[in-house]
């Protein structure tokens, strides 16, 4: 096998891992005081609530699971999100934009809902006010 073919094989093998890094990190809900941390390992990702000022009992809850990068469309992920009102996980599609924004869309029957998130460097300390 020549070097060019070896590099091409390595790039194909590493592509899902490189894409996985795009989603990992801290995300803040665009409208509510809630933050999650998304981590990835071996091509799978999960999201855990790290701070929620409205519902502090949700901290530590895994709200995203089985996240996988779409192998055909960069910035698209698929997985499951915990639907609080239903008490169960539902299929979700996650779109990342190059501007540090994430849209999570869930479809249940004829209904769909999209929630926007913004990438942040860290979760701020809760003020004592």
**pLDDT value at 16 more than 70:** no
Say what the pLDDT of residue 128 is: 65
Would the CA dihedral through 71, 77, 78, 80 be positive or negative?
Answer: positive
CB 104 within 8 A of CB 76: no
**pLDDT value at 96 more than 60:** yes
Residue with tokens 């924004």: 101
Say what the pLDDT of residue 3 is: 53
**pLDDT value at 118 more than 90:** yes
Domains of the chain, residue spans: 24-120
pTM: 0.80
The helix or strand, by DSSP H or E, that contains position 26, with its residue range, turns out to be strand 25-29
**pLDDT value at 124 more than 80:** yes
Q: Is CATH 2.40.128.520 the right assignment for the domain spanning 24-120?
A: yes
Which of 53-57, 82-86, 101-105 is predicted with the least confidence, judged by mean pLDDT? 82-86
CB 104 within 8 A of CB 91: no
The helix or strand, by DSSP H or E, that contains position 20, with its residue range, turns out to be helix 3-23
Residues with Cβ within 8 Å of residue 88, at least 6 apart in sequence: 82
Q: Which one is predicted more confidently, 50 or 18?
A: 50
In whole angstroms, give the CA distance from residue 91 to residue 99: 24
Whole-number average pLDDT of the chain: 85
**pLDDT value at 62 more than 60:** yes
């Amino acid at each position: 096998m020549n070097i060019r073919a070896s590099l091409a094989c390595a790039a194909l093998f590493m592509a899902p891992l490189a894409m996985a890094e795009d989603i990992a990190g801290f995300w803040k809900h665009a409208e509510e005081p809630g933050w999650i941390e998304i981590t990835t390992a071996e091509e799978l990702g999960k999201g855990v609530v790290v701070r929620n000022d409205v519902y502090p009992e949700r901290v530590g809850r895994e709200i995203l699971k089985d996240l996988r990068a779409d192998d055909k469309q960069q910035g698209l992920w698929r997985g499951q999100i915990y639907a609080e009102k239903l008490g169960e996980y539902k299929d979700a599609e996650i779109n990342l934009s190059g501007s540090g924004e994430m849209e999570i869309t869930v479809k249940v029957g004829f209904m769909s809902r999209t929630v926007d998130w913004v990438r942040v460097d860290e979760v701020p300390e809760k003020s004592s006010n």
